[in-house]
Amino acid sequence: MPQANAIDIRDITKVFGQGAEAVHALDHVSLAIREGEFFTLLGPSGCGKTTLLRLLAGFEQPTAGVIGLYGDDLAGLPPFRRPVNTVFQNYALFPHMTVAGNVAFGLEMQRWRRGDIERRVEEVLSLVKLAGYGQRKPAQLSGGQQQRVALARALANRPKVLLLDEPLSALDLKLRKEMQIELKRLQVETGITFVFVTHDQEEALTMSDRLAVMQDGKVLQVGTPAEIYERPTRRFVADFIGDTNFLQGVLGRAANGEIQIKLDVGGMVTTRHAEAHTEGERVTLAVRPERVDLEPVNAEAGEDTGRLRGVVETVVYFGTDTSYRINIDSLPEPVLVRVQNRQGAASPFASGDSVRLRIPPEAVQVLVD
């Protein structure tokens, strides 16, 4: 069954300032966020993530374009009338109020009945695992606990959408990892649509149902974590998320569902995904280090498609895998290869060894630009 869209962002542009000073924070952004999904906006500082979140919250108005929430145009609707709450990086708790007072605040503003407020405050405090902390002041809590209070407050009036602007970046690494799991649990348990902003690639990959990768006010690619990681369409996306080798070549003809690519460094690889490209076109390929195999040069290799010769520059042991930098004649940068370690087995290759890199068709991703 198709999921309904919670949020429809259609051709949104946001310009701050005027004339020579104008900043295009968002440039024709379109996105559909589905009901009940954990959706992440991922990109480097200044790419427009926070601006997009602020437009959803109603703190800013778009210069052009339409934002729909469950089919309703949000234009002109002030923040407090939107079924949307925001959790900020700095928690933004009222320091003089108790935890319960902080969580109850929005419900009091919405004129909930006293008994309902008390019940709901207890319910959300236990949802974020802070039952019994109601009478403390924020200063008597750890950073992680304060962020839980902020979450409880944002969930209290049952918003349809929760916006989260780098909510974990003030926490130390261990706490951050714990809170990532906690946030994911909260999202699954409540079924609320989460729109989460981060510049941390790993966080985006591990937490999201789907994510949008942004750069310079534009959305470059939208997909599941696996789609974004395995099939990046742009050089920026491949480079921003994980390690990637880039190779240049010219597309040859397709046969048996595979397309040959003649590499500039010599040799040939094949791919199964190059739909948007034509024969003779120059292309850039992205190849993940862990998708490449290493073979000794004297191996029985058959025909040479998908194999390149190189010399091991460095070997680095990482416990679960070993990382190799391989120099290939005429390539300015070494190729990175990561091979899973087998228990008790030492690295079969050492610095200075001649090797062959085997690049299977599944490993080759042809980029759009």
Site residues (CB under 6 A) for ligand ATP?
A: 16-17, 23, 25, 43, 45-51, 199
In the DSSP assignment, the letter for residue 98 is: -
Choose between 49 and 153: whose C-beta lies nearer to ligand ATP: 49
Choose between 28 and 291: whose C-beta lies nearer to ligand ATP: 28
Please, what is the minimum distance in Å from the beta carbon of residue 58 to ligand ATP?
15
Q: Cα separations (Å) of 132 from 30, 126, 157?
A: 44, 8, 20
Closest CA to 327 of 307, 312, 339: 312
Q: Are 67 and 7 in contact (CB under 8 A)?
A: yes
**What is the distance between the alpha carbons of residues 181 and 184, in angstroms, rounded to a whole number?**
5
CA-based torsion, 48, 54, 56, 60: positive or negative: negative
Q: Are 260 and 306 in contact (CB under 8 A)?
A: no
Please, what is the minimum distance in Å from the beta carbon of residue 14 to ligand ATP?
8
Please, what is the minimum distance in Å from the beta carbon of residue 342 to ligand ATP?
41
Question: Which residues, at least 6 apart from 88, have a Cβ–Cβ distance to it below 8 Å?
Answer: 150, 165, 167
3-state DSSP assignment of residue 126: helix
Side-chain half-sphere CA neighbours of 180 within 13 A: 19
Choose between 17 and 296: whose C-beta lies nearer to ligand ATP: 17
Q: Cα separations (Å) of 260 from 39, 175, 270, 304, 308?
A: 36, 48, 4, 12, 14
Please, what is the minimum distance in Å from the beta carbon of residue 355 to ligand ATP?
41
Please, what is the minimum distance in Å from the beta carbon of residue 302 to ligand ATP?
49
Choose between 54 and 288: whose C-beta lies nearer to ligand ATP: 54
Side-chain half-sphere CA neighbours of 78 within 13 A: 1
In the DSSP assignment, the letter for residue 148 is: H
Choose between 215 and 305: whose C-beta lies nearer to ligand ATP: 215
Pairing status of strand 354-358 against strand 307-317: antiparallel
Please, what is the minimum distance in Å from the beta carbon of residue 79 to ligand ATP?
16
Please, what is the minimum distance in Å from the beta carbon of residue 201 to ligand ATP?
13
Q: Are 34 and 46 in contact (CB under 8 A)?
A: no
Choose between 43 and 310: whose C-beta lies nearer to ligand ATP: 43
Choose between 47 and 84: whose C-beta lies nearer to ligand ATP: 47
Please, what is the minimum distance in Å from the beta carbon of residue 145 to ligand ATP?
25
Choose between 43 and 267: whose C-beta lies nearer to ligand ATP: 43
Please, what is the minimum distance in Å from the beta carbon of residue 16 to ligand ATP?
3
3-state DSSP assignment of residue 47: coil
| DSSP character string of 149-208 | HHHHHHHTT--SEEEEESTTTTS-HHHHHHHHHHHHHHHHHH--EEEEEES-HHHHHHH-
Choose between 16 and 80: whose C-beta lies nearer to ligand ATP: 16
Choose between 40 and 50: whose C-beta lies nearer to ligand ATP: 50
Q: Which two tokens stand for residue 360?
A: 């299977």
Please, what is the minimum distance in Å from the beta carbon of residue 92 to ligand ATP?
16
